[in-house]
Homo-oligomer: A and B are copies of this chain.
Amino acid sequence: MKKVTIKDVALKTGLSVSSISRVFNNYGDISAETIKKVTLAAKELGYTPNSAAKQLSSKKKKIIALILNEINVTRGVAMPLEILGGVVDNLDKTDYEFVFYATNSKKQNQKSLRQFCNERDITGLIIQGLRISDPYYQELETFDLPTVAIDLDIKNEKVGTVSTDNTKAAFEMTQLLDKAGYKNILFLNGTKTATVAQAREAGYREAVDNAQVYYANFSENEACKWAIEYAKMNDFNKIDAIFAASDLMAIGVIKAFRILDLEKNIAVAGFDDITLASYVTPSLTTVRQDMGKISEYAVKDLICQIEKDEIKHRFVPYQIIERESARLTTDKVKTKFEA
Contacts and interface: CB of A to CB of B under 8 A. Distances in A.
Copies held by the complex: 2
A132 to B, nearest CB: 23
A332 interface: no
A251 B116 CA distance: 43
How big is chain A's contact interface, by range?
A: 35 or more
A56 B53 CA distance: 6
Contact of A80 (B50, B81, B118): B81
A338 interface: no
A293 B313 CA distance: 41
B76 A72 contact: no
Contacts of A82: 72, 75
Interface stretch (A27-35, A194-202, A276-284): A276-284
Contacts of A144: 1
A25 interface: no
A48 B84 contact: no
A121 B88 contact: no
A15 interface: no
A116 B1 CA distance: 14
A92 interface: yes
Interface in A134-193: 144
Contacts of A55: 52
Interface string A77-105: 11011101110110010000001101000
